[in-house]
Every structure is written in C-alpha cells, then in structure tokens.
Amino acid sequence: MADESLSERLRPYRVLLASRARAQMQYRASFVTDILGTVGVGLAEFAEVWVIFHNVDVLGGLDFTAALLVFALSNLAFSLADMFVGHLDQLPRFIRAGQVDAFYVRPLPLLAQLMTSDLSLRRVGRLAVALVALTVALVTAPIAWSAATVALIVLTVVSGTAIFSALFTAAGGLQFFLVDGSEFTNAFTYGGSYAAQQSQQVFPGPLRIFWTFVAPTAFVAYIPAVAVLGLPGDRLAPHWLAWCTPLAALLAWAIAGLCWRLGTRHYQGAGG
Amino acid sequence: MSADSIIETRELVRDFRKTRAVDRMTFSVEPGEAVGYIGANGAGKSTTIKMLTGILKPTSGHVRTCGLDPMRRRVEVARRLGVVFGQRSQLWWDLPLRDSFTILGAIHRMDDGSTRARTDLLVEQLEMGPQLGTPVRSLSLGQRMRAEIAAALLHSPELLILDEPTIGLDVLSKQRLREFLVAERHEQGTTLLLTTHDMGDIERLCDRVLVVDHGRLAFDGTLTGLAGTVGAQRILVLDLAGPTPDLCDVPGATLVQSESDGLRQRLSFDSAATTVAAVLAHVSSRHEVRDLTIEEPDIEDVVRRIYAASGRD
C-alpha cells in the first residue's frame, strides 16, 4: 500500500469527478442553459467595468486596459475556484441531505471528498468570458514582455485560484457552526471576488489592509497587474510584493485549514 | 470483554450542551454477533452510532471500533465498516445505480475485477439486476434500501451497522431484506449492529439485544431473555368459521381474548417456544379458520416495560 503510485492514490477522486461530469451531461438542455447563464454573469460583471470607464478615464490609478487586466485575472481565478470547490460554501445543504455523514464513513479525507463531490462545469461560461478578457487585455496593454512577466502571470492565475479556493474552504469550515451562515461567509467569497476586481486604491485604508493581508484577494489581480504594467500602484503594495502571491495563497490556506479543523471538530452529525 | 472485540465502549459519555445523550455506556460486541440496539426516540441510539463511526467526538469515555479509535483513525475504521443510515442515502441519486457501485469500489480501492464480481454477487442475491440501469432517484423505497445495503457491503466489511433499515418498507420488502441479511451473515460472518423500531427485525436477525433508555444501557441479553423480562409476546388473531369454544389447549399459546361466541379469538405465543405455523396447524386440525392476523409486540411497548421492570420512569 505504501508504495502505490500517485495515479493510483488519486483514482477515487478521478472516478468521483468523472461521475459528476457524467451526471451533468445527462440533462443536456439544462446544462446548455446553465452555461449561457454563467456567460451572462461574466458579461454582467464586465459591463460594470465598461460602464465606469465609459464615464471616467482613470479610476484608482487604472485606465480601462489596466482595469480589464485586473478584471480578467480576478474572474479567471474566481471562476476556476468556483468550478472546483464553489460548492463548499453550501455545506449546510450537504449536512441536511446527510451527505456529510456518508463522507465520514468512507475511507477518504473529508475535505477531499467534499471538494470532489461536485464539479460545476456550467461555470465554464464565466471562465470563457474571463479568458477572452485576459487575451484582449494582454494584447492591448503596454506590457514590457519578458520571461518574468509571463511567469508572473501564470503564477498569479495559479495562486489566485488557490486563494479563492481557500476562501471557499474557510467559508465551508465556518458553516459547520454558523447556522445559515452563508450570508456572512458570502462577504468573504463573493465579496472577495468583487474586491479582487477593483483597483485597491478605491478602498479606504482598513479595507485595503484587509484585502491584502487577511483575505488576500488583492494578490489575485490588482497587485500583480500593477507590477506587470509597471504602474505606480498602491503604497501598501510595492512591485516586488507581486512575487509574494504564492505566500498569500499559503496564508489563505493556513486560515482555511484552521477554519476547517474547527468546523469538523464541532460537527455533530445530521439529526436523529 | 475480550481483546479482539469488534465494538467496545467503556463509560462512554456524550453531552449536548446541558443534556446527556449517552450516559456511561459500557458494552462490547464480539466478531460474528448480531446485536439489536433498541430504545425510544431520543434515547441515544444515533448518538452512540455516530461515536462508533467517528462522526461525533465522545465527551468522555472509551470507544473502539474494529479495535481502533474511530475519531483518530476514522479512515482505517471506514475501510472495515459498512453503514446504512435508513433515512439518508449514500448513493449517487442522479446516476444509474450501477455507477454507485463503481464509484464506491474506487473509493475503497478495489480493483475493477473484484468490484464487478462483488457487485454481481450482491445484485444477484438482492435481485436487483433489472434496476442496475435505473437512476437512483427513480428507485422505490424498498429497492433503494436494498441498494443501500448492497453498497454498504460492497467492500466486504467486518462490521455492518444498520440504522433503521426497514423503516417505511412494506411487509414483502422487509421480508426479502431480512432473508438476505441472514444469508449474508451466514456466508461472510459479518458482525451486525442494528437499530430498529420493528420487533420483527430483532426477532429474525439478532441473537442479542441492547436496550437503551435516557442514554443508559437498560438491558443487555438474549431475545428470549428480553421476552422473559417483559413478556413480549406476539398475538395471533384467528377468525373462525363458526362459534367455537375457547381455544385453551393449544401448546405454546395462551388464550388472551374471545369475542362473539368464539368467532374471533386472540392467542398470545412466544416465538422462542412455538411458531405461527404450529399454532395454526393445531387449531385448523379441529376448527375451520377463515382469516388470521399477527400482532407484533410494539417495540416502544417492550421498552416501556423494561423501564418499568428496572424500576425507572
């Protein structure tokens, strides 16, 4: 057992995720409408950026192209995280259905089971909007291309997805003991997504500190984008900080791990 | 209490805020036993099961499942354990039944060949072949419950815990499920712990009964012993063709009541001493029987009598 390959160790999760994909394909019509719906969500988010820059040229130190890059990076990371683990913040629904008890009596880690219990393929709609926006932003923005910028952008997408996944995990952990706590945790997940797609300079100081160092969504898009574009940016966030995005992801995951542990210790099972 | 008990609890306690759901529970179950775990609603049955399976952390006391601490070694315990929570499904409701077995096989790290062989065997024994392609959400309650039990047994666990497996099932479905469980235990030697409100489950499946009351163990012994303690007897109601003298001389049965000049007579009997068939054969050899019903002892009633017998309540 000890020397079984990684691929063998991951087989249960592969089978679980494949089954989730299969289940969604069984209702093709509703799947297609769902995708159209998430494209709509992505476009609506984009419309907000569009409307603002239709009226002002520069907001929070960003012009339209820079804002588009921030929008694209944050939406890409959020939609990826949302697709893989976005269902974690619906933990009460899983608890009520008795699914969490079923996870406990299966020989796999709880969090891994919960993460692979759903795969929201319909969210590729929002992902597609983000990818188009990212392409447009990268082509039109005045970027001094180098190996470092490419590496920074890739690093940002990976770490950004990890940061949002951590927020969803923390939200899930907290909901073990917050009854109907999704309104509260939404402030961090969806609120974090909203904060991530803004220039940090539009926020007052305390909020900027919060989104940089506590729920570090500033690292998802704004800080790296400013570094990539060579803009002056935020006093709180010098350019070298952009390379700390993986550290921010680690911090987010440390907090998420703590929330999750607290939550599972508190769990009492689903009713009688 | 031997060293290799499959379940062992000692002075097990679980508090919820101010109420004590499980109170200094001590018992052990040996490999191969079939134990019925009964008690009124809220007596602490589910809480105990949650502590045995690692879902819930005990407030204090000692618990071992398959020789392991279920909180700290949940995953190892889960490999050796099968659980069915009667009112909650563990199957994938939006996929054909067959897929649930495939997924569970992968979760338990069984190879494709043994998953298929075990699935085929269970499906054949439970007569579920026609349902394999049906989405789980479209199964009837009886079909779903058989599927849940097959799913819990897929990885051939040492211990099977069933929480209200027959709740809501019709007589025929109950019967088939019990027959299957008897056969399965006979072949595999699986240890069984079962909670139920149905005295029939206990009579047909269990050789030992634990009764829990207000979180405490009120009775631990054989079914015969339980019947002896509380006089839990089944009642055979006979409708006879014509007025009949009182049926006082039936071996193993006692007349409880006679109505309408003996047109309807109620006989109580102890399942350990005789069978319905024997009583019926005896009566029909002398009188014409038109109809019959059997009244099972109500489990709540049995539990109430135990409380009374132990001087509580």
Q: Do A97 and B88 touch (CB under 8 A)?
A: yes
Q: Return the pLDDT at B79.
A: 95
Please judge whether A107 and B108 are an interchain contact, meaning their C-beta atoms are less than 8 angstroms apart. Answer: yes
Range of the domain at B271: 233-296
Asked whether residue B1 is assigned to any structural domain, the reply reads no
CB contact under 8 A, A98 and B88: yes
Q: Is the pLDDT of residue B311 over 70?
A: no
Question: Best residue in A105, A114, A177, A265 to probe B by mutation, most B CBs within 10 Å?
Answer: A105
Name B170's Cβ contacts closer than 8 Å, sequence gap at least 6.
B142
Same domain, B157 and B247: no
Give me the phi and psi of B255, to 5 degrees please: -70, 130
Q: What is the pLDDT of residues A11-53, one digit of tens each?
A: 999 999 999 988 888 888 888 898 999 999 889 988 988 898 8
B24/A contact by beta carbon, under 8 A: no
Residue type, B230: V
Residue A59 is part of which domain span? 6-266
Q: Which residue of A has its CA nearest to B41?
A: A272
Nearest residue in B to A113, CA atom? B107
Asked if B85 reaches chain A (Cβ–Cβ under 8 Å), the answer is yes
> Does residue B286 sit in the same domain as residue B146?
no
Beta bridge partners of B83: B161
Closest approach of B142 to chain A, Cα-based (Å): 19
Q: Can you give the CATH number for the domain in which B247 is found?
A: 3.30.70
Summary mean pLDDT of chain B? 87
Do both B118 and B33 map to the same domain?
A: yes
Q: Does residue A1 lie in a domain region?
A: no
Give contacts of A23 with chain B, Cβ < 8 Å: 92, 94-95
Contacts A–B by Cβ distance under 8 A: 80
My answer on whether B186 and B103 are in the same domain is yes
Same domain, B102 and B224: yes
The verdict on a CB contact (< 8 Å) between A98 and B85 is yes
Same domain, B267 and B135: no
Kindly report the nearest CA distance between residue B161 and chain A, in angstroms: 11
Please count the structural domains in chain A: 1
Give the pairing of strands B159-163 and B81-85: parallel
Q: Is B72 on the interface with A (CB under 8 A)?
A: no
Q: Is residue B280 part of a domain?
A: yes
Q: pLDDT digit string (tens) for B28-46?
A: 999 999 999 988 777 888 8
- Cα B90 from Cα B83, distance rounded (Å): 9
C-alpha to C-alpha distance for A58 and B174, rounded to whole angstroms: 72
- Asked whether residue A153 is assigned to any structural domain, the reply reads yes
**B269 pLDDT higher than 90:** no
Q: How many domains does chain B have?
A: 2
Q: Please name which of A39, A55, A182, A40 lies closest in space to residue A124, comparing C-alpha atoms.
A: A39
For residue B262, give the nearest of B280, B242, B279, B291 by alpha carbon: B242
Q: Which long-range contacts (CB under 8 A, 24 or more apart) does A12-17 make?
A: A12/A108, A12/B106, A12/B107, A12/B109, A13/A112, A13/A116, A14/B106, A15/B102, A15/B103, A15/B106, A15/B107, A16/A113, A16/A116, A16/A117, A16/B103, A16/B106, A16/B107, A17/A116, A17/A119
Q: Residue B141's domain is classified under what CATH number? A: 3.40.50.300
- For testing the chain A interface, which of B90, B138, B160, B161 should be mutated: the one with the most A CBs within 10 Å? B90
Tell me the shortest Cα–Cα distance from B145 to chain A, in angstroms: 15
Structure tokens at B24: 């200094």
Are A105 and B55 a contacting pair at CB < 8 A?
A: yes
Q: Give one DSSP letter per residue of B8-33, joined into a string.
A: EEEEEEEEETTEEEEEEEEEEE-TT-
Alpha-carbon distance values, A272 to A162, A220, B122, B275 (Å)? 36, 43, 29, 35
Interface test with A, best of B48, B74, B161 (most A CBs within 10 A): B74
B239 in reach of chain A (CB within 8 A): no
Type and span of the H or E element at B267? strand B264-269
Q: Test A108 with B107 for CB contact under 8 angstroms.
A: yes
CB-based burial label for B133 (10 Å; 0-12, 13-18, 19+): exposed
Residues B221 and B251 in one domain: no
Mutate to test the interface with A, among B14, B22, B50, B134 (most CBs of A within 10 A): B50
- Residues B163 and A95: their CA atoms lie apart, in Å, by 17
Is the pLDDT at B268 greater than 50? The verdict is yes
| Torsion A168-A171-A175-A179 (CA) sign | negative
Nearest CB to B94: which of A26, A98, A268?
A26
- Enumerate residue ranges in chain A where pLDDT < 50: 1-2, 272
Q: State the smallest CA–CA distance between residue A258 and chain B in angstroms.
A: 18
Q: Does pLDDT of B230 surpass 80? A: no
Which residue from A169, A172, A178 is spatially nearest to A254, judged by alpha carbons? A169
State how far the Cα of A182 lies from the Cα of B102, in Å rounded to an integer: 34
ipTM over 0.90? The verdict is: no
Decide if B294 touches A, using CB distance below 8 A. no
Say yes or no: B172 contacts chain A, CB-CB below 8 A.
Answer: no
% of chain B at pLDDT higher than 90: 47
pLDDT at B306 over 80: no
What pTM was estimated for this model as a whole? 0.80
Same domain membership, residue B193 and residue B179: yes
Q: Distance (Å, rounded) from C-alpha B177 to C-alpha B188? A: 16
* CA-closest candidate to residue B44, choices B15, B68, B66: B15
pLDDT attached to residue B1: 47
| B99, B54 Cβ separation under 8 angstroms | no
Cite the DSSP H helix spans in chain A: 6-9, 11-25, 28-55, 64-85, 91-96, 99-104, 110-115, 124-140, 147-174, 182-196, 205-209, 222-229, 245-266
| Stretch B245-266: mean pLDDT | 81
Give CA–CA dist A193/A185, Å, rounded: 12
Q: What contacts 24+ positions apart, CB below 8 Å, involve A23-28? A: A23/B92, A23/B94, A23/B95, A24/A119, A24/A121, A24/A122, A26/B94, A26/B95
Identify whether residues B217 and B285 lie together within a single domain. Answer: no
Which pLDDT band holds residue B232 (cuts at 50, 70, 90)?
Answer: low
Look at residue A181 and tell me if it is in a domain: yes
- Report CA Rg, chain A: 19
Is B306 a member of any domain?
Answer: no
Predicted confidence at residue A232, as pLDDT, reads 79
